[in-house]
């Protein structure tokens, strides 16, 4: 977890994803058009291809639904005393979510993305 969403943080994110892509494989990363996603200052690793969603279309981005689930179930209606308390609450919420792979699958499913 990082305290800012900016170009530096996005570069760290891309580099971390790249390190975990299996040799010979390629990752496709779905992104909104936040400035730190689209800047020419990023050095996108060769094993990652970004796909940019249309502007102002959060309903197309499954990660928005992930945050909604986390807020609704574990992060809303709290007052945190310190930044570290926020980080720890987010970590705990993430641990709870990843312990539910079926929930993650259902959050990310889009009927329109499946060909029958």
The domain in which residue 4 lies consists of: 1-55
Contact 88, 81 (CB under 8 A): no
Domain boundary among 9, 28, 55: 55
**pLDDT tens profile 24-45:** 999 999 899 999 999 999 999 9
Taking only Cα atoms into account, the Rg of the chain, rounded to an integer number of angstroms, comes to: 16
Please tell me whether residues 47 and 84 are part of one structural domain. Answer: no
Domain boundary among 13, 31, 55: 55
Please tell me whether residues 84 and 113 are part of one structural domain. Answer: yes
Domain boundary among 55, 75, 98: 55
The stretch 98-113 carries a mean pLDDT of 82
Helix axes 83-98, 62-70, angle to 10 degrees: 110
Please tell me whether residues 12 and 34 are part of one structural domain. Answer: yes
Instruction: Please report the pLDDT score of residue 112 as a whole number.
Output: 66
In this structure, what DSSP letter does residue 73 have? Answer: I
Count of structural domains, the chain: 2
**pLDDT tens profile 48-103:** 999 999 988 877 887 888 888 999 999 999 899 999 999 999 999 999 999 999 98
Instruction: Please report the pLDDT score of residue 19 as a whole number.
Output: 97
């Amino acid at each position: 977890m990082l305290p800012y969403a900016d170009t530096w943080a996005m570069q760290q994110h891309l580099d971390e994803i790249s390190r975990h892509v299996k040799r010979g494989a390629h990752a496709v990363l779905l992104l909104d058009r936040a400035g730190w996603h689209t800047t020419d200052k990023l050095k996108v690793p060769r094993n990652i291809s970004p796909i940019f969603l249309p502007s102002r279309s959060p309903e197309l981005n499954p990660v928005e639904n992930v945050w909604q689930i986390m807020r609704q179930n574990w992060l809303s209606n709290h007052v945190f005393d310190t930044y570290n308390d926020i980080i720890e609450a987010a970590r705990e919420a993430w641990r709870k979510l990843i312990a539910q792979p079926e929930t993650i699958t259902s959050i990310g499913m889009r009927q329109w993305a499946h060909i029958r």
